[in-house]
Structures are given as structure tokens and as C-alpha cells.
Amino acid sequence: MIPDEIASTIISPWAYSDGKKVDDAFTWLRREMPLEQAQPEGFDPFWVVTRHADILEVERQNDLFHNGDRSAVLTTIEADKQVRAMMGGSPHLVRSLVQMDNPDHFNYRKLTQGAFLPQNLKALEARIREIARAAVNRMAEMGGRCDFARDVAFLYPLHVVMEVIGVPESDEPRMLKLTQELFGSQDPDLNRSGAEVTDAKAGVDTVQSVVLDFMTYFNAMTDDRRANPRSDLASIIANGKINGEPLGYLEAMSYYIIAATAGHDTTSSTTAGAFWALAENPEQFRKVKENPALIAGLIEESIRWVTPVKHFMRTATADAELAGKKIAKGDWLMLSYPSGNRDEAVFKDPFKFDVTRSPNKHVAFGYGAHICLGQHLARMEMRVLWEELFARLESFELDGEPKSMVANFVCGPKAVPVRYKMN
């Protein structure tokens, strides 16, 4: 069993905000207990999968390790009870691709998969470039100082993804606020109560109220797109059929919610984290500035560096062996992506930010059937932004202490103050 101190660190929202604490804990685990069970107070026991190779092994076998049988996100015993009481026994408040297994996962993913293939995203590049250029222009007009997270990184991917979904620009602030309340539900700076969450019931109630606000919004959008279909993602979801039938209500709402939250928040975190890392490693910025061909390397390294999704849970559907350990049917496993992406067996100098890192086979998008649907869009958004920004950015440095969100599921920087010179 993993020692209590380590177990409580790797689930602590504050440790992820600190960064180093969680890195140190995972470094210890990879060396001493790369696959072992943890049982922090208030939680059911779960296996902590820390090594890159073992994460791939679990993700590859999506019939043996299910997403939906228990909560797909780490949750306390009390919170799990609350959710099941609300949801008729289901451990999920929403039912998106993340909570599904086959055959539903395959059928629901197929509905939108084509829209996110690289060859089909090409049609969006010109419009994404316009949005990026506007973001860079706004940054230039700020007089050489801004919070890059708040003023650029949060807004640019939001605008792109909301256009893809079909959400009007006037509703973007609302979508951003709801997203931050959802993923930042443990962060007093971002959550709905403005206070530290100490009570499981209050925590679940808060998240559920955010989910209900999303559902109210997207329910109206479904009605609209059924009456007036357009060429947007909302129309695909609203008019989609699974085995000849319209999507279930919960599944349709969950599809919108995942697109409207994870669809931009993860890219925002990575973009903000990249800028933070470049500010701390100016020689890396110089390399990319002088050789824009390195932008592709910067993107992959930023995704590895930030790893905005900190974990997903899986449940064993049968007795299994993994890395020499006996996993029993029904066991819960935590896939620790930040740990996999710092695995010394795969990455040389894993704590060094290196835009020339090659190969860079990070697991930040996951692996196997559940690999991130929007990964090609995320890469394109970042490439276009960096192309536009670096053409005008001459120099920059930190202008205060950056801060990261207090969260243990999906998170990244929440403030990256910078001073800069642009042409």
C-alpha cells in the first residue's frame, strides 16, 4: 500500500497547484512503487498507474479496463454515494465519451469523429488564423504587460471552439465561467461558492448546479438546431442518430458539455503553460523564434509539460495481471498522466523543457480508443497562434509570480503575468 503521505499528495488539488509537490511524489512512486494501491482517507482503494508503459497497456485494452463501470474521475466514497443517489444508481453526473464503453463509445464517437480529422480541419485554418491574429493584436494593444493566461490563453481557444460548436460570441464569457466553475470546483478563486470545498455533498451539489446550467443552455440549442440545422457541431449532435434513434437526452447534453469545456480549457492550459515555460527558458524561445519549424516541437513539449488532464480512472472488468501485479475484477485504477509524461524510462531529462525533444511520445491525449478526439484541432490552434504571435513578439519575461489552478482533474495555469515587446 502506498504510504499515506504520498497517497494524500497525489490526490491533493493544492499539490497540483504547487506542481513540485506532486512531481516529487510521482518521482518517488515511479522509483519505489510504480504500480501499487492507495487508499487516502475517504476514498475506496485504487491502483496508481505511474509508468508510461503501464498507462499505455491499460488504455490499449479498453475492453479489460472500462471507463464507465465506476466513476471515470477520482471521487470520494461520500461524493460517489451522492452522485449515485441523484442519478438512479449511475456513478456519473454526465455521460459523455469519457464515461462510455463499447458499443456506445464507438457509436457516439463516430458521430463527430470525421469533423475532427486533420484533412477536414484544414477548412477551418483560415478562420482560426483570423481569430489568432485578433488575439495577437489585442495583446499588442495592451501596452507591453498582460496576464497571458487571462488575456490570451483562456480566450483564444474558447473563441475557436465556440465557433466550431455554434455558440454565439456573446455567450462566450458565460461558457468560460461555467467551464472554470466545473474544472475549478475545488479552487476558491474559480468555483461558484468562492470558498474552499470541504464537504462532499456541497461539492457534488455545486458541480451538479453547473452541469444543470450547461444543460439548460444546450437544451435550447438542441431545439434550435433541430428546427434550423447549420454546419456546426451543435447541429451534428442535435440531429445525430445512434442505431437509427436520436441521442439520449443525457448523452446529447454530455456531448455538448465535454466539447464546451474540455474542448478549450485543455488547450488554454497548455498555451498558458507553454508561455510560462518559455519565459523561464528564454533560450528555448530564441530557438523557436529563429527557427519556426520548431513550433511543432514546442507544441508537443508543451502538451507533455502541462499535461492538463491529470488523471482518468478505469475499472477492471476481469482479473488481470499488470506489471507483475494481480489486478482483481472490479478494481479501480488511476492513470496518472503527469507521471507517465515524466517517466525517466521514456523521457531523457523529463523535468527539462526542451522544444527539440524527439521522439516525444507523451500520453497527455491518452492512448487507445479513448484518445482525445480534439487533439488535431488543439495542435492546429496552438500552431497558428504561435506562428502569428512569434512573428511579432521580440522578447518577454515574467512580470510576477504565475499561479496554477487548485484542482486534481483538469487544470493548468490560472495567471501568467508577463512584460513583453512586440513589433
28-57 residues in contact with another protein (CB under 8 A) are 56
Rounded distance between C-alpha atoms, residue 365 and residue 67, angstroms:
15
Q: Which is nearer to another protein, 46 or 367 (CB)?
A: 367
Are residues 164 and 124 in contact, defined by beta-carbon separation less than 8 angstroms?
Answer: yes
* Distance in Å, CB of 315 to another protein, minimum: 20
* Distance in Å, CB of 51 to another protein, minimum: 16
By CB under 8 A, residue 274 contacts another protein = no
Q: Which is nearer to another protein, 58 or 153 (CB)?
A: 58
- C-alpha R_g of the chain: 21
CA angle 18, 21, 22 (to 5 degrees): 95
* Distance in Å, CB of 65 to another protein, minimum: 13
Q: Taking the CA atoms of 310, 162, 165 and 219 in sequence, report the sign of the dihedral they define.
A: positive
Rounded distance between C-alpha atoms, residue 22 and residue 6, angstroms:
9
* Cα end-to-end distance, the chain, whole Å: 56
108-127 residues in contact with another protein (CB under 8 A) are 113, 116-119
DSSP state of 194: S
By CB under 8 A, residue 371 contacts another protein = yes
Q: Which is nearer to another protein, 117 or 391 (CB)?
A: 117
Q: What is the helix (H) or strand (E) element at residue 419, kind and residue range?
A: strand 417-422
By CB under 8 A, residue 348 contacts another protein = no
284-343 residues in contact with another protein (CB under 8 A) are none
Stretch that binds another protein, among 4-12, 152-160, 257-265, 362-370 (CB under 8 A): 362-370
* Distance in Å, CB of 369 to another protein, minimum: 6
Stretch that binds another protein, among 168-176, 195-203, 216-224, 369-377 (CB under 8 A): 369-377
DSSP state of 122: G
* Distance in Å, CB of 393 to another protein, minimum: 29
By CB under 8 A, residue 359 contacts another protein = yes
By CB under 8 A, residue 59 contacts another protein = yes
Q: What angle in degrees, to the nearest 10, is found between the helix axes of 125-140 and 155-165?
A: 150
Q: Taking the CA atoms of 171, 175, 181 and 187 in sequence, report the sign of the dihedral they define.
A: negative
Stretch that binds another protein, among 86-94, 244-252, 255-263, 370-378 (CB under 8 A): 370-378
Task: Write the burial class of residue 398 (CB in 10 Å: 0-12 exposed, 13-18 middle, 19+ buried).
Answer: middle
Count the neighbouring beta carbons within 10 Å of the beta carbon of residue 85.
Answer: 10
| Interface contacts to another protein, rule CB under 8 A | 56, 59-60, 113, 116-119, 358-359, 361, 365, 367-369, 371, 375-376
